């Protein structure tokens, strides 16, 4: 009998990487399948800054544009934020302020 242990199996992980053929895509736009939606950019890890990829620890700064940022890039002007703060503010003011209508004085005297 053989006393050698059986060989250990190694775990393998395969990752499918989509290939991009720029020449084929630019030459015939009609060849694109309309049923296939465009693939979003891969999500940035939740513990890294979306701008500089620096580790932010457990509590990064979440922005309204759904990104997590470090202390340097937490402000909207520092990370090219795509959230429209002006429109959101106008909408909030319009929602929370009731319309004030003057009382009609005609016919009271």
C-alpha to C-alpha distance for 107 and 109, rounded to whole angstroms? 6
Q: Which two tokens stand for residue 20?
A: 């991009």
pTM over 0.75: no
Higher pLDDT, 16 or 26: 16
Amino acid 80: pLDDT: 87
* Residue pair 54/79 in contact by the 8 Å Cβ criterion: no
Average pLDDT over residues 50-78: 91
User: How many domains, the chain?
Assistant: 1
Residue 75 placed within a domain: yes
Residue 78 placed within a domain: yes
Q: Smallest Cα–Cα separation from 78: which of 42, 54, 94, 102?
A: 54
Higher pLDDT, 54 or 17: 54
Residue 103 placed within a domain: no
Q: Radius of gyration (Cα) for the chain, nearest Å?
A: 28
The rounded mean pLDDT for the chain is: 74
**Residue 79 exposure: Cα atoms within 13 Å on the Cβ side:** 24
CA distances 3 to 10, 42, 105, Å, are 21, 49, 107
């Amino acid at each position: 009998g053989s006393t050698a242990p059986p060989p250990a199996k190694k775990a393998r992980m395969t990752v499918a990487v989509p290939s991009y053929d720029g020449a084929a895509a630019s030459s015939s736009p009609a060849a694109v399948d309309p049923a296939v939606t465009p693939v979003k950019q891969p999500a940035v890890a939740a513990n890294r800054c979306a701008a500089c990829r620096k580790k932010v620890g457990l509590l990064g700064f979440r922005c309204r544009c759904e990104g997590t940022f470090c202390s340097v890039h937490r402000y909207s002007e520092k990370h090219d934020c795509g959230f429209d703060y002006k429109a959101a503010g106008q909408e909030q003011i319009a929602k929370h302020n009731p319309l004030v209508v003057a009382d009609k004085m005609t016919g009271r005297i």
